[in-house]
């Protein structure tokens, strides 16, 4: 394992979206310090910031980046008003849609640019209302550790964690495979983890190590090709994994591309025999002692796609959804740092449906209560459910546009549900269509319709902060 401590990764000049931006930190608030940092979010909430995926020249959502707009709480609840974020919003720095994170009271946004010349560059914004966002100029370039297409989240208030795995493979030599002489040799892949101080943007620690599969797990055909959505709980970081399994006892099989005639080889899938869902665990803040823990309650992957899927509950346990294809929420015990395999929240069971259910995004709020965005097989649309993880129950909530068929795909792009006090804020627009900001009283389950959200061809809203 290699640990790296980096005070600052980028001091110089960076060309971002056509504008020259200084990488020196600005003076930030006048708090009597000389750090120049913008600091933590210790001011009262003023705004709810909405984000939307900007369509590219090809009309595909997200290929043009991310637009943001900050509403006052009064504006957010006013159903007589309309927001056209595509015309009037602020373009966050990124060639394509990046994963936006927000501070506890919504006064800061954090973003690491995704792909392009400045992929891997971290930016911090102060939210000042409407389309006015102040870039604090506290840039970090983490591409050397996390690539130009980074996987990262706010893992605890004031702390971001970025993760990457590369090089995991079980290579096949076509000549050997053709004559039945190919043996299974799995390369674990190299994991990179970087801690990002969001209050005083810097990287205080990072590390690199081989994925900690045991020899037995390697030989059984297990592989992890992606890791994501880290969360910090006490002295541990829990990282979701995209787990797969092949059968090393069977010879690889070939397939031929109908268009090119090219022959490719692959190991035979053995996903039916996956032992369970896995999570990568490391110590925090040292990033030492990597290990894998296994759930016996699920076999679905928990690495998510665009949305955070792990939260520390009011009771101190971690609650982890098998999003974006599973229906379960699992629990990692605060005392043992391992799965509590006596606990299993299954949204399908809680809703009492016979159809398969997929959790696309969710947010733990407080006291075991959470809000879920989900889809259901054989049913058009996308839906909201208020869940009680203590009682293991779920209540479907109704919205005006819930049956729109486009939600079946756009829900998978959703990034964040905003929470302020007793209310959760959920912008819902099917691709290319108008919608509304829905406001859920998470204590009562009452849903009200807030500001109207103007649609744009090929795009949709993706989050609230």
User: Residue 324 in contact with residue 305, Cβ under 8 Å?
Assistant: yes
Distance CA 407, CA 382 (A): 5
Contacts of residue 215, defined as CB under 8 A and 6 or more positions apart, other chains included, come to: none
Q: What is the pLDDT of residue 22?
A: 30
The list of the chain residues with pLDDT below 50 reads 5-35
Which residue shows structure tokens 């398969």? 356
Q: What is the pLDDT of residue 118?
A: 96
Per-domain boundaries in the chain: 1-140, 142-305
Q: What is the pLDDT of residue 36?
A: 54
Distance CA 114, CA 29 (A): 28
What pLDDT, in 10s, does the model give residues 120-174? 999 999 999 999 999 999 999 999 999 999 999 999 999 999 999 999 999 999 9
**Phi/psi at 271 (nearest 5 deg)?**
-65, -25
pTM equals 0.93
Distance CA 92, CA 100 (A): 9
Exposed/middle/buried for residue 98 (C-beta within 10 Å: 0-12, 13-18, 19+): buried
Give me 331's structure tokens: 């629990």
Q: What is the pLDDT of residue 5?
A: 47
What pLDDT, in 10s, does the model give residues 233-288? 999 999 999 999 999 999 999 999 999 999 999 999 999 999 999 999 999 999 99
**3-class DSSP string for the chain:** CEEEEECCCCCCEEEECCEEEECCCCCCCCCCCCCCCCCCCCCCCCEEEEEEECCCCCCCCCCCCEEEEEEEHHHHHCCCCEECHHHHCEEECCCECCCEEECCCCCEEEEECECCCCCCEEEEEEECCECCEEECCCCEECHHHHCCCCEEEEEECCEEEEEEEECCECCCCHHHHHCCCCCCCCECCEEEEEEEECCCCEEEEEEEEECCCCHHHHHCCEEEEEEEEEEEECCEEEEEEEEEEECCCCCCEEEECCCCCCEEEECCECHHHCCCCEEEEEECCCCCCCEEEECCCCCCCCCCCCCCCEEECCCCCEEEECCCCCCEEEEECCCCCCECCCCCEEHHHHHCCCCCEEEEEEEEEECCEEEEEEEECCEEEEEEEEEECCCCEEEEECCCCCCCCCHHHHHHHCCECEEECCEEEEEECCCCCCEEEEEEECCCCCEEEEEEECCCCCCEEEEEC
Give me 15's structure tokens: 């060309």
User: Residue 234 in contact with residue 335, Cβ under 8 Å?
Assistant: no
């Amino acid at each position: 394992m290699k640990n790296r401590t980096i005070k600052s990764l980028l001091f110089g000049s960076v060309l971002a979206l056509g504008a020259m931006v200084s990488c020196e930190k600005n003076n930030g608030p006048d708090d009597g310090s000389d750090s120049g940092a913008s600091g933590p979010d210790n001011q009262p909430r003023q705004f709810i910031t909405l984000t939307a995926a900007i369509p590219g020249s090809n009309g595909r959502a997200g290929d043009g980046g991310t637009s943001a707009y900050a509403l006052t709480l009064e504006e957010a609840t006013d159903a007589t008003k309309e927001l056209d974020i595509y015309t009037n919003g602020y373009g966050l720095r990124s060639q394509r849609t990046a994963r936006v994170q927000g501070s506890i009271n919504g006064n800061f946004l954090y973003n690491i640019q995704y792909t392009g010349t400045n992929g891997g560059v971290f930016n911090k914004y102060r939210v000042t209302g409407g389309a006015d966002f102040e870039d604090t100029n506290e840039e970090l370039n983490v591409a050397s550790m996390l690539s130009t297409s980074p996987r990262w989240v706010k893992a605890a208030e004031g702390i971001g964690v970025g993760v990457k795995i590369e090089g995991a493979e079980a290579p096949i030599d076509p000549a050997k495979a053709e004559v039945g002489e190919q043996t299974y040799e799995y390369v674990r892949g190299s994991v990179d983890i970087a801690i990002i101080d969001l209050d005083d943007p810097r990287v205080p620690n990072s590390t690199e190590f081989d994925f900690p599969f045991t020899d037995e797990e390697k030989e059984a055909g297990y592989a992890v090709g992606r890791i994501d959505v880290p969360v910090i709980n006490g002295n541990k970081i829990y990282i979701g994994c995209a787990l797969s399994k092949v059968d090393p006892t069977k010879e690889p099989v070939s397939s031929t591309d109908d268009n090119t005639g090219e022959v490719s080889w692959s190991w035979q899938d053995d996903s039916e025999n996956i032992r369970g869902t896995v999570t990568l665990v490391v110590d925090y803040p040292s990033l030492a002692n990597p290990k894998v823990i296994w759930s016996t309650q699920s076999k679905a992957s928990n690495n998510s796609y665009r949305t955070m899927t792990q939260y520390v509950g009011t009771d101190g346990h971690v609650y982890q959804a098998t999003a974006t294809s599973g229906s379960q929420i699992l629990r990692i015990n605060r005392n043992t740092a391992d799965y509590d395999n006596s606990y299993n929240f299954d949204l399908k069971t809680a809703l009492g449906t016979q159809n398969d259910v997929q959790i696309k995004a969710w947010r733990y709020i407080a006291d075991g209560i959470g809000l879920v965005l989900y889809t259901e097989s054989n049913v058009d649309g996308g839906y909201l459910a208020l869940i009680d993880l203590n009682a293991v129950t779920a209540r479907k909530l109704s919205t005006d546009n819930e049956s729109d068929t486009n939600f079946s795909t756009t829900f998978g792009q959703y990034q964040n549900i905003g929470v302020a006090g007793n209310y959760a804020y959920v912008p819902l627009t099917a691709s290319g269509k108008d919608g509304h900001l829905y406001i859920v009283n998470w204590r009562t389950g009452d849903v009200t319709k807030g500001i109207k959200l103007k649609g744009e061809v090929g795009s949709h809203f993706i989050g609230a902060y």
